[in-house]
């Protein structure tokens, strides 16, 4: 297993632990998100994700061409999803303590300067273990 | 009363089927001829189409701005003030048209746009008209023969990116100081709310020379980036989320230009026991102060989304607050009785819903709301959400992240020290509120909150003349105050010698 493959499964240390690794991945992707990334990569080349926060389109994962966003020591590489690195500000990660992010796609416009996830789609993150329910009235 | 929705026969707001970019004082079609549909959040139905611009259109707007910048930069402060005052007068004269336009496009209740957004937008133009005329620079006599003159000069052409939550007011906050200081601007409105500012341009566009104000609509990833990375802008201003804020600073670093950023908050609103010392108008004001989290359906950077209540009054105070929240009318944003309209987009609604699930998952107690609001009828597809209240702990994610919706997270504190500790336990520092009858404590706690704007015994007031901006990750710069003129100008020092004699070095 290459280091990237291990990383995509949640990091080398976690990968080495075998069966427990699935539960310990900090970010994973749905099949729809993987498919969106595959399509986008075919057009835009290598990609990266950065978790945003704050005003307006905060809480959205931003998708950029790889290297577009300069990461620094304050950023945490959460893992690799669909072949792309997924970063988050370390302080934000500590404040959110989300457990596991699940990258997904939904209808809607991309936030900020993010690339779209396809025609009329944007990337979102869900939090694993939090079940979306029908909350209609 | 209920305003007729824009585009219908009896409406005061005319809607064209398609809007072009506003460049060089004219309506200019996008180079690639692409358009995107702009939806009304109350019905999820189209309002109109707007240009889906590309970087080529940004270049054309920058050409126009650069062509206009020398002449505009050399106009006298009196001339610029006259133009800004004319803009303010035009906004006032079209208050209802603009209020209905912005309400329908954003979803905010028209009672807010009529009473706050639009009159404030006019006032911010008047404020900067006054500020630029009253501006004085410094002259220093360094010695008998040497004088340092300091002149303020415009930066030239600036780029400004506007958020969706106050499409006209946030534009006014940025346009007024930029133009007052003698700059030309290229504006990218939010992709979700491009129409309101185009309606504003219909009303004010002729009051300034062509090329001074240019508006290009389209996706952030294309034209926002093209604008922010352009070596032809001398400054960039942005309101939005943190990753784009950092990206904009990164691009600005590559061009060595200044930025101003406003990136949101998770503002604490602190209620001390003494607010309940009497059952009077002040208590009533304090209860409303808590309920203001629902202002603009919570889509406000300074939304008082964390309420910190001293534990001995928690039950009694929240009983009153929840009773007031239960009376919030959710529905047609164009009805003047409506207090909360729809969220701005389906994705905002989805995000808010997901945070309610996260809150429940973390064990927060749901005290009110928590569901999509069933408005029904013609609004059945609109993005309505119930005013929602959680009780929980400040370490929970719903206390730590800006939800940008009508979701209040409430907790309690024992004493002043704990109140401040909780208030400051956040990455953000944009706003805060303190409610107390004790004047000394009001000052002490107000100064103790690490945020750029702390409201004392009030909340959500945005008068021109009170500086607004963030501490910590909430941003850089102070808007709505004359100090913003410094962010839109550069200092020219003319160092003048009266001495007839050489220095003697060579």
- Kindly report, residue by residue over B321-330, the tens digit of the pLDDT: 999 999 999 9
Least CA distance to B359: which residue of chain A? Answer: A130
Q: Residue holding tokens 């061409």?
A: A65
Dist CA A32 CA A34 (whole Å)? 5
- From A112, A116, A122, residue closest to B244, measured CB to CB: A112
Contact between B357 and A131 using a beta-carbon 8 Å cutoff: yes
Size of interface A-B (CB pairs under 8 A): 159
Dist CA B203 CA B199 (whole Å)? 7
Contact between B473 and A54 using a beta-carbon 8 Å cutoff: yes
Domains, chain A, in order of start with CATH, read 3-127 (2.60.300)
- From A52, A124, A132, residue closest to B241, measured CB to CB: A52
- From B263, B374, B400, residue closest to A55, measured CB to CB: B263
Least CA distance to A123: which residue of chain B? Answer: B347
Dist CA B325 CA B387 (whole Å)? 7
- From B220, B242, B353, residue closest to A54, measured CB to CB: B242
Q: In terms of residues, how long is chain B?
A: 506
Rg (CA), chain B: 24
User: Which residue ranges of chain B lie beneath pLDDT 50?
Assistant: none
Q: What is the pLDDT of residue B51?
A: 98
Q: What is the pLDDT of residue A20?
A: 45
Contact between B474 and A54 using a beta-carbon 8 Å cutoff: yes
Least CA distance to B348: which residue of chain A? Answer: A57
Dist CA B44 CA B381 (whole Å)? 6
First-to-last CA distance in chain B?
82
Dist CA B505 CA B499 (whole Å)? 15
pLDDT per residue, tens digit, chain A (137 aa), is 444 544 444 443 443 444 444 446 899 999 999 999 999 999 999 999 999 998 888 889 999 999 999 999 999 999 999 899 999 999 999 999 888 999 999 999 899 999 999 988 999 999 887 766 554 44
* Cβ neighbours of A101 in B, within 8 Å: none
Task: Please answer whether residues B49 and B19 qualify as being in contact, where contact means their C-beta atoms are separated by less than 8 angstroms.
Answer: yes
Closest among B279, B272, B304 to B459, alpha carbons compared: B304
* Cβ neighbours of A106 in B, within 8 Å: 347, 350
Dist CA B282 CA B461 (whole Å)? 17
Cα angle at A124 between B163 and A3, to 5 degrees?
Answer: 125
Q: What is the pLDDT of residue A82?
A: 87
- From B219, B265, B345, residue closest to A108, measured CB to CB: B345
* Cβ neighbours of B220 in A, within 8 Å: 110-114
Q: What is the pLDDT of residue A19?
A: 41
Query: Cα B226 vs. chain centroid, distance in angstroms?
Result: 22
Dist CA B242 CA B261 (whole Å)? 9
Give the predicted TM-score (pTM) of the model: 0.94
Q: What is the pLDDT of residue B383?
A: 98
* Cβ neighbours of A91 in B, within 8 Å: 427
Contact between A107 and B346 using a beta-carbon 8 Å cutoff: yes
Least CA distance to A133: which residue of chain B? Answer: B357
Contact between B371 and A135 using a beta-carbon 8 Å cutoff: yes
DSSP string, A15-43: HHTGGGHHHH-SEEE-HHHHHHHHHHHHH
Dist CA A105 CA A31 (whole Å)? 10
* Cβ neighbours of B250 in A, within 8 Å: 69-70
* Cβ neighbours of B358 in A, within 8 Å: 127, 130
Q: Which sign, positive or negative, has the C-alpha torsion B485, B260, B479, B336?
A: positive
- Identify the residue among B193, B244, B366 best suited for mutation to test binding to A, counting A beta carbons within 10 A and taking the highest: B244
């Amino acid at each position: 297993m290459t280091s990237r493959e291990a990383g995509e499964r949640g990091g080398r240390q976690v990968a080495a632990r075998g069966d427990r690794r699935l539960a310990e991945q900090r970010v994973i992707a749905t099949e729809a998100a993987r498919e969106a990334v595959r399509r986008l990569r075919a057009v835009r080349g290598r990609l990266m994700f950065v978790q945003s926060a704050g005003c307006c389109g905060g809480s959205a994962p931003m998708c950029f061409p790889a290297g577009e966003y300069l990461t620094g020591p304050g950023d945490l590489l959460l893992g690799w999803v669909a072949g792309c690195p997924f970063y988050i500000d370390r302080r934000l990660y500590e404040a959110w303590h989300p457990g596991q992010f699940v990258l997904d796609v939904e209808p809607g416009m991309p936030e900020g300067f993010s690339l779209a996830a396809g025609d009329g789609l944007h990337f979102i993150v869900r939090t694993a273990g939090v079940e979306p329910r029908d909350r209609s009235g | 009363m209920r305003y007729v929705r824009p585009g219908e026969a009896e409406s005061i707001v005319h809607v064209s089927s398609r809007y072009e970019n506003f460049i060089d004082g004219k309506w200019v079609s996008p180079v690639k001829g692409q358009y995107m549909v702009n939806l009304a959040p109350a019905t999820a139905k189209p309002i109109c189409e707007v240009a889906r611009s590309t970087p080529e259109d940004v270049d054309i707007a920058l050409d126009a701005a650069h062509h206009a910048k020398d002449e505009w930069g050399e106009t006298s402060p009196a001339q610029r003030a006259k133009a800004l005052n004319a803009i303010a007068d035009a906004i006032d004269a079209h208050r209802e048209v603009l209020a209905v336009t912005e309400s329908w496009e954003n979803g905010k209740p028209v009672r807010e746009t009529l009473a706050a957004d639009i009159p404030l937008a006019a006032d911010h133009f008047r404020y900067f008209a006054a500020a630029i005329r009253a501006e004085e620079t410094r002259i220093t006599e360094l010695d008998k023969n040497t004088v340092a003159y300091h002149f303020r000069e415009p930066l030239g052409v600036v780029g400004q990116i506007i958020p969706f939550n106050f499409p006209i007011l946030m534009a006014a906050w940025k346009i007024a100081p930029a133009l007052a200081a003698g700059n030309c601007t290229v504006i990218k409105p939010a992709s979700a709310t491009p129409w309101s500012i185009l309606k504003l341009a219909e009303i004010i566009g002729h009051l300034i020379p062509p090329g001074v104000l240019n508006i290009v609509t389209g996706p952030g990833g294309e034209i926002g980036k093209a604008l922010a990375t352009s070596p032809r802008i001398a400054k960039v201003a942005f309101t939005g989320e943190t990753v784009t804020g950092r990206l904009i600073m990164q691009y600005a670093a590559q061009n060595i230009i200044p930025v101003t950023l406003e990136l949101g908050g998770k503002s604490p609103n602190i209620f001390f026991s003494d607010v309940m010392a009497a059952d009077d108008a002040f208590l009533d004001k304090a209860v409303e102060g808590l309920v203001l989290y629902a202002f603009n359906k919570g889509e406000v950077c300074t939304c008082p989304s964390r309420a910190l209540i001293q534990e001995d009054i928690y039950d009694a105070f929240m009983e009153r607050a929840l009773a007031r929240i239960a009376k919030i009318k959710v529905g047609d944003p164009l009805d003047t009785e409506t207090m909360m309209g729809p969220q701005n987009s389906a994705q905002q609604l989805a995000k808010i819903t997901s945070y309610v699930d996260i809150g429940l998952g973390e064990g927060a107690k749901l005290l009110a709301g928590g569901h999509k609001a069933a408005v029904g009828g013609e609004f059945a597809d609109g993005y309505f959400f119930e005013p929602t209240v959680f009780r929980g702990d400040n370490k929970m994610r719903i206390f730590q992240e800006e939800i940008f919706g009508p979701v209040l997270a409430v907790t309690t504190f024992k004493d002043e020290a704990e109140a401040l500790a909780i208030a400051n336990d956040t990455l953000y520092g944009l706003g805060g509120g303190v409610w107390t009858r004790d004047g000394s404590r009001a000052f002490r706690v107000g100064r103790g909150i690490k945020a750029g704007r702390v409201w004392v015994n009030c909340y959500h007031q945005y008068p021109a003349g009170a500086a607004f901006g963030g501490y910590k990750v909430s941003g850089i710069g102070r808007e709505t105050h004359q100090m913003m003129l410094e962010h839109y100008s550069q200092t020219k020092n003319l160092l003048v010698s009266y001495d007839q004699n050489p220095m003697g070095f060579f």
